[in-house]
Amino acid sequence: MKLYLYFIGKPRDVHSNGMAQEFVKRASRYMACEMREIQPGRFDLFGRHTTARKVFLDPAGKPMDSHAFSMLVGKAELEARDVVFLIGGHDGLPPEWKPKADLLLSLSQMTMPHELARAVLAEQIYRALTMLRGHPYPR
């Protein structure tokens, strides 16, 4: 099983992905994880990840607390199913991709920069994996 954190669009600040990369690195201790920028017109997400659970971040998506999020990750792990997380660009998600998501997830009802959303999502992935492993980090 592998977790993918994809995002659309380049960060405005070259250092803005640093925190997200740190949490992806920490999460990689527990599971293979990858974070990278994609361009929808040049990347076939659905062809590349045919069996993966696709969780797309969207302000109108389902809100979830950390425990429920860890259960989502844990279920995918039990099913030995990859999970693809996608954060849209400044225009959001590609309209034709939204209906193909297995889950639309909202990190917050508040608007935040996409770089910050990456860091929050990466931290929640790390938190979920530590919760599932009984690590003291999430206390």
DSSP secondary structure, 100-115, as one string: G-SEEEES-SS---HH
CA distance 14 to 128: 27
pLDDT digits (tens, 9 = 90+) for 15-66: 878 999 999 999 999 999 999 999 999 999 999 999 999 999 998 999 999 9
DSSP secondary structure, 39-76, as one string: -GGG--HHHHTSSSEEEEEEEEEEE--HHHHHHHHHHH
According to the model, what pLDDT value does residue 68 have?
97
According to the model, what pLDDT value does residue 9 have?
86
User: Span 103-121, mean pLDDT?
Assistant: 92
According to the model, what pLDDT value does residue 15 have?
80
CA distances to 12, 40, 73, 83, 96 from 16, in Å: 7, 21, 25, 23, 28
CA distance 42 to 108: 29
Top-confidence residue, 62 or 11: 62
Top-confidence residue, 138 or 99: 99
131 — phi, psi (to 5°)?
-60, -45
pLDDT digits (tens, 9 = 90+) for 53-106: 999 999 899 999 999 999 999 999 999 999 999 999 888 899 999 999 999 999
CA distance 106 to 104: 7
Top-confidence residue, 111 or 7: 7
According to the model, what pLDDT value does residue 86 have?
97
